[in-house]
Structure 1
Amino acid sequence: MIDKLEMFIALANERHFGRAAEVCRVTQPSLSSAIRQLEDQLGVQLVFRGSRFQGLTPEGQRVLDWARRIVGDMRALKDEMRTVHSGLSGNLRIGVIPTALPMVADLTAPFTARHPNMRVTLLSRTSAEILAGIESLELDAGLTYLDNEPLGRVTQTPLYTEFYRYLCAPNSPLADRAQVTWSELIHEPLCLLTSDMQNRRIVNQHLAEVGVRISPTVESNSSIALVAHVKSGLWASVVPMKLAEMFTGQGLKAIPIVEPEAEHLVGLITAKRDPQTPVLQALMDEAAKLAARLRQ
């Protein structure tokens, strides 16, 4: 039954029989047969079928919610039993918003040092993708904003407060300023993250608060791409302080943005579970230690 539920979850995630079969490492006929057997066992139709996958039935959607809980609990049980015998081991999948990537090693380095049998896979994701990934069991945890948009049913561990900097080349008209205001950015040639990124929505929010609306000539979902454009001397950007600090030694200027000096909380989120899995509890404990160090 668990194997069939895992195949059903994969189908719901991929929305394609062939791709779901690849994820489960079975043939497409085997996956289709498993889904039909699950339907027979439960006595309901789970999937609308045609020449291709056409979505879940209402009953299928309800079964999906149960399947995720059951499979999540089974994975947690296996995790705990494995820990009893050999300590923490396995692969931890963490989704990270792009603006938090500069500090993620502050969390993963001590975690892997303390638990040498653990492997960590870091995936750059939007805040919405992180929430969806945790819900679908494709991610184990995420580093994202905690205070700007609803998070739903997750466990939160605050890490640090994000502040914002005007990042520019030395030839920028504002390069010698000690501070700039949000309203002064209206005349600057900006490159910003794309609108699906929560950081961009935060920037837009603070600009709107002072009556400024900006249409950047360059947008990207990569922070590195933004910095590359700033280094050309033709653009400037608004980036988190921790990202700006990585490049100020390379000739770029990072100037605090005030009126207001905006701040937003970033932290670790995991699926809400009681008890928590040993691996995720260890990660949350490490996050709490990091937060304490950052406050000092």
Structure 2
Amino acid sequence: MFLRQLTYLIALDRFRHFSRAAEHCGVSQPALSAGIRQLENELGVSVIQRNRRFLGLTAEGQRVLAWAKQTLAALDGLKQEAAFAQDVSGGSLSIGVMPPALLGIPLLMESFRTAIPSLHQEVRSAAAGDIARMLREHQVHLGVTYLDQIPPGDAFEVRPLYAEQYVLAGATSAPMPTGPRCNWAEVASIPLCLFTRNLRSRQIIDAGFRDAGVTPTIMVETDSISLLHSELRAGRLCSILPVAALPETVGGAGLRTCPIVPCPAPQVGVVRLRQPNPSAVLERIWEVCTHLRADDIFHV
């Protein structure tokens, strides 16, 4: 059995299409199909459902896929371990980040780069509830998410980064409350643009309005943080955002913020899958995470 065959299977599951999977692997479609058939012959089971198109994995294929991901993840760790022994300034790291934490990721990445100067970093945006799955499937090495979204048990290790604070943000021309703080009833009458309801940060905001017994005036819902920022800068709408998700130009761009009380302060942290033999690169990164706290940075 060749590792390339396992790579073909993972790509096929990801792209759900023979041609796109082959293109991703840098081979022809017949070569990819032949590799999958060879894998099936060696294992003695059918791993994919097919006619002329890819119809999905069989039950046996799903089990082989999980094994393939673990095998290739272990191989990647072995390669990094060998490279790290020769050059402690290198390696690669993939990070899954929930949208409200994306703007704070450069600070985290810079800390990692200080520890490992030539570290290659890949950042992928995902809903908070998907981070644990991505870690389990070895799609990412680290996750940055709400810690209450991580399943209890021994499968994961966590490091808190900061307690999230929510604020009402709007342009100087927007109908913002005049006091240093505001409550949910005051915010409910203001036209808002918010994250979509599938995101955990929006669910926290909805709980605030619900507990206050008021209904907000929501004009725009999106999972794009850049669109929320555009609406804020245009002065058309206000938004409720964690401090970590505010545009960097708050103040300079004529935006104001007003902390909302009472408001929960969910913990945001770094998460990794517990492994018996993590790579030296991941161990160094995890050591950096133990010394990181950003409460003062993401609080107004």
TM-score by length of 1: 0.90
Contact kept in structure 1, 2:162 and 2:294, CA below 8 Å: no
SS in structure 1 at match of 2:96: strand
* Aligned counterparts of 1:104 and 1:74: Cα–Cα separation in 2: 27
Deviations 1:27-78, CA, capped at 9 Å, x for gaps: 2111111111111111111100022111111111111222222222121112
Pairing 1:134–2:135 present: yes
Rounded Cα–Cα distance in structure 1 between residues aligned with 2:156 and 2:198: 21
RMSD: 2.3
Aligned counterpart for 2:235 among listed residues 226, 233, 239: 233
Cα distance in structure 2, aligned partners of 1:207 and 1:171: 24
Q: Please give the alpha-carbon distance, in whole angstroms, between the structure 1 residues aligned to 2:165 and 2:294.
A: 18
Using the alignment, how far apart are the partners of 2:212 and 2:295 within structure 1?
Answer: 35
State the distance in 2 between where 1:147 and 1:95 align: 16
**Residue 86 to residue 160, structure 1, CA distance change in 2 (3 Å):** same
> What 5-or-longer segments of structure 2 have no aligned partner?
none
Seq. identity, %: 34
Q: d(CA) in 2 for partners of 1:19 and 1:151?
A: 37
Alignment of structure 1 residues 180-259 onto 2, 5 Å:
180-214=182-216, 216-244=218-246, 246=248, 247-258=250-261
Structure 1 residues 137-146 or 47-56, which shifts more? 137-146
1:39 maps to what in 2?
Answer: 40
Aligned residue-pair number: 294
Provide the secondary structure at the position in 1 that maps to 2:277. coil
Match of 1:283 in 2: 285
Paired position in structure 1 for 2:107: 106
Q: Assess, with a 3 A threshold, how the Cα gap between structure 1 residues 288 and 253 changes in structure 2: closer, same or farther.
A: same
Partner of 1:94: 95
Give how far 1:191 is off: 0.2
What amino acid does structure 2 have at the position aligned with 1:256? P
CA distance in 2, matches of 1:202, 1:61: 35
> TM-score scaled by structure 2?
0.89
- Return 5+ residue gaps in structure 1 as ranges: none
Residue identity matched to 2:255: L
Cα 1:128–1:30 change in 2 (3 A) is farther
Pairs within 5 Å for 1:4-19: 4-19=5-20
Query: For the residues of structure 2 that align with 1:238 and 1:8, how far apart are their CA atoms?
Result: 43
* Alignment deviations for residues 185-217 of structure 1 (CA, whole Å, 9 cap, x no partner): 221100011223222222222222223344621
TM-superposed deviation, 1:294? 5.5
CA 1:19–1:132 in 2, change beyond 3 Å: closer, same or farther? farther
